[in-house]
Amino acid sequence: MIIYKSEAEIDLMREAGAILAEALARLQTIARPGITLLELDREADRFIRGRGCIPGFVGYQGYQNAICTSVNDQVVHGIPTNRKLREGDLLSLDAGLIHRGFWADAGLTVGIGKISVEAQQLLDATRESLEIGIRKAQVGNRIGDISAAIQQHVEGAGFSVVESFVGHGIGRDMHEDPQVPNFGIAGQGPLLKPGMVLAIEPMVNAGRKDVALLGDGWTVVTVDHSLSAYFEHSVAITADGPEILTSVRKSDAQHRLPSRLVGDGQGGDLED
């Protein structure tokens, strides 16, 4: 069952998203060679609680940490450990929080120091695929329009879409209906209506699409050990177009005004 959000609820989700975007921006600046994944996790936990929010991943189905940290051939849900980041690593950060009862969920992949050309291409294609998917998140379109646009961009760049994990509705629960696959057929699936909020999250492998679960029960890796990247935003479907909730608000004025992907002439805040 899809739960539609009121304007007031989307206001709260916008606040949640802005705080999460700040947390991710902070993590991005400290993700340097030598820092451990656990140090990033502790900083995220501290930051989120410091803003009066709950790091919602903690305790979620037994998960123990505030963020997921997935390195190189790890796709998503990597558990933060004492592993130190090294020059050339590809780090996917995934974070979520609860603010006044509502979730924000977002993430991104960042290169640590200088990364390979292939890694950069994978990162760029994945980020672009999210942008392209978000552009399809328009009233009157269907979920399949988002899915197909993402898949087409990823495969056009020579990479593959992970099929075992998908995006999702988000609200008072992190995972709500509908599912938002990163592959599919345009014109199919649930109709997009105002008040829907979707976490759109392409997971893209440099090699084959197949993934496996590590023995820790969480970490998802590519079967062929190829690199993987991931970007995620929580996005509200509005009559005025998609609104990215999990982007950094650059000024107070923008904090009050919706930061529209389309319609305000300001561009989309799509850069992470």
Residue whose CB is less far from ligand MF3, 105 or 269: 105
Prior bond to 178 cis, omega within 30?
yes
Using CB under 5 A, which residues numbered 66 to 105 contact Co ion? 105
Q: How far apart are CA 38 and CA 15, in angstroms?
A: 26
Residue 177 contacts by C-beta under 8 Å, 6 or more apart in sequence? 1, 2, 3, 168, 169, 190
225, with CB counted inside 10 A (0-12, 13-18, 19+), is exposed
- Contact between 201 and ligand MF3 by CB under 6 A: the answer reads yes
- Contact between 20 and Co ion by CB under 5 A: the answer reads no
- Contact between 199 and Co ion by CB under 5 A: the answer reads yes
Q: Out of 15, 17, 43, 57, name the contact with ligand MF3 by CB under 6 A.
A: 57
Taking CB under 6 A as the binding criterion, the range among 46-54, 56-64, 124-132, 222-230 that sits at the site for ligand MF3 is 56-64
Q: Please, what is the minimum distance in Å from the beta carbon of residue 105 to Co ion?
A: 4
Q: Please, what is the minimum distance in Å from the beta carbon of residue 105 to ligand MF3?
A: 5
- Contact between 41 and ligand MF3 by CB under 6 A: the answer reads no
Q: Are 167 and 136 in contact (CB under 8 A)?
A: no
Residue 217 contacts by C-beta under 8 Å, 6 or more apart in sequence? none
Q: How far apart are CA 186 and CA 85, in angstroms?
A: 39
In the complex, the residues that contact ligand MF3 under the rule CB under 6 A are 57, 60-61, 63, 68, 77, 94, 96, 105, 199, 201
In the complex, the residues that contact Co ion under the rule CB under 5 A are 105, 199, 201
